[in-house]
């Protein structure tokens, strides 16, 4: 998949673009339905399936106080979008200047820079200054800008619309099962491994430590069975989210024990996919008690992973 971080004359290079528009934070089942429709249309006309999105959330510029916690990150979003069959991803930075363009100017950008044959988006998509552009405008004005617009129906679960807002609420409440159902895959956190206290190594459970960005959605504290991807390989693991109360550490973080892995991964990105919660965070009376529980956690995680 080709990635463009600036709007250039993409239409010169790619024939018959079909563009899915949206932020696609988390790329949940609703987002996937939009992207799959764009891929399907591109195949029908022997065209190019594209996603047009932003590197940062528009609210980070328009109204930072209302900026939501991000479900995924750019690395994860790119990987999922590519898996869905997208050939080109346009991922530009949303700026103050961009926030001021009118809906009509946005449509002109689409026509001059991309020249899509189809534009596909969801029912709640808005664009242009103050979000005045919407799906109805895309359908109405599309012929003036030489494209046809399709507005995909909302996807529901338990009679409620699947949305990033709903998923954020489920993550915060710890409802991992429904989070994973609405995402269509395990909730995954991708981040660089940072140096920790190296206590885990001394007790036989060396951990990869990940910082929790204040802007990222995260599950409640506790121990979880996880799948860990390092490079192109997957491993079973156990992850603790919390402050490490046994050692009186007052900094919330993620500690990942990767089963049957001995490599040096400091400074590298790993992907931690949360499969099931094992238990709440605990403060143990001794290191031996902690180690006994970690062995139980690991066996439970192996059993879950193998299923």
Provide the CATH number for the domain around residue 74: 3.40.50.620
| Apex 232 CA angle, 226 and 236, nearest 5 | 25
The pair of three-digit structure tokens given for residue 265, joined into one six-digit string: 């991964």
pLDDT > 90 fraction of the chain, expressed in percent and rounded: 80
pLDDT in tens, 297-306: 999 999 999 9
pLDDT at 251: 73
The pair of three-digit structure tokens given for residue 73, joined into one six-digit string: 């990150």
Domain residues for the domain of 76 are 2-157
In a domain, 255, yes or no: yes
In a domain, 31, yes or no: yes
pLDDT in tens, 109-119: 999 999 999 99
In a domain, 167, yes or no: no
- Under the phi-then-psi rule, with left for phi > 0, alpha for psi from -120 to 50, and beta for the rest, what region is 282? beta
Strand-strand pairing, 187-192 and 269-279: antiparallel
Strand-strand pairing, 253-258 and 208-211: antiparallel
Of the two residues 13 and 35, the one the predictor is more confident about is: 35
pLDDT in tens, 232-241: 899 999 999 9
In a domain, 95, yes or no: yes
In a domain, 84, yes or no: yes
User: What is the 3-state secondary structure of 208-251?
Assistant: EEEECCCCECCCCCEEEEEEEEECCEEEEEEEEEECCHHHCCCC
The pLDDT of residue 198 is above 90: no
Provide the CATH number for the domain around residue 294: 2.40.30.30
Same domain? For 6 and 153 the reply is yes
Structural domains of the chain, count:
2
The partner residues of 262 in beta bridges, in order of sequence, read none
Of the two residues 72 and 139, the one the predictor is more confident about is: 139
Same domain? For 16 and 139 the reply is yes
| Span 225-231, average pLDDT | 96
Same domain? For 151 and 191 the reply is no
- Is 19:52 a contact under the CB 8 Å cutoff? yes
pLDDT in tens, 245-288: 555 555 788 999 999 998 889 999 999 999 999 999 888 888 88
pLDDT > 70 fraction of the chain, expressed in percent and rounded: 96
DSSP strands (E only) in 103-204: 118-122, 148-152, 156-157, 160-161, 187-192
| Span 53-65, average pLDDT | 94
In a domain, 179, yes or no: no
In a domain, 292, yes or no: yes
């Amino acid at each position: 998949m080709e990635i463009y971080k600036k709007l250039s004359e993409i239409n010169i290079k790619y024939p018959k673009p079909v563009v899915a528009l949206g932020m696609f934070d988390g790329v949940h089942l609703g987002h996937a339905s939009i992207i799959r429709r764009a891929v399907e249309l591109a195949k029908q006309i022997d065209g190019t399936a594209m996603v047009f999105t932003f590197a940062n959330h528009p609210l980070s510029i328009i109204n930072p106080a209302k900026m939501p916690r991000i479900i995924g990150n750019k690395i994860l979003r790119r990987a999922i979008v590519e898996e869905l069959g997208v050939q080109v991803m346009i991922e530009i930075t949303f700026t103050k200047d961009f926030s001021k363009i009118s809906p009509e100017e946005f449509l002109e950008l689409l026509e001059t820079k991309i020249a899509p044959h189809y534009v596909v988006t969801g029912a709640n998509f808005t664009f242009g200054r103050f979000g005045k552009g919407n799906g109805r405008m895309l359908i109405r004005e599309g012929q003036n800008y030489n494209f046809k617009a399709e507005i995909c129906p909302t996807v529901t679960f338990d009679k409620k619309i699947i949305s990033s807002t709903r998923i954020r609420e489920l993550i915060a409440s710890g409802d991992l099962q429904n989070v994973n159902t609405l995402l269509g895959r395990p909730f995954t956190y991708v981040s660089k491994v940072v140096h920790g206290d190296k206590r885990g190594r001394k007790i036989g459970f060396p951990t990869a430590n990940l910082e929790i960005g204040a802007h990222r959605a995260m599950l409640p504290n506790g121990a979880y069975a996880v799948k860990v991807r390092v490079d192109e390989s997957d491993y079973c693991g156990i992850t603790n989210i919390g402050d490490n109360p046994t050692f009186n550490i007052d900094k919330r973080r993620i500690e990942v024990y990767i089963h049957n892995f001995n490599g040096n991964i400091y400074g590298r990105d790993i992907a931690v996919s949360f499969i099931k919660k094992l238990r709440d965070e605990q403060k143990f009376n001794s290191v031996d008690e902690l180690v006994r529980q970690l062995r139980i956690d690991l066996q439970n995680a192996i059993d879950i992973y193998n299923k």
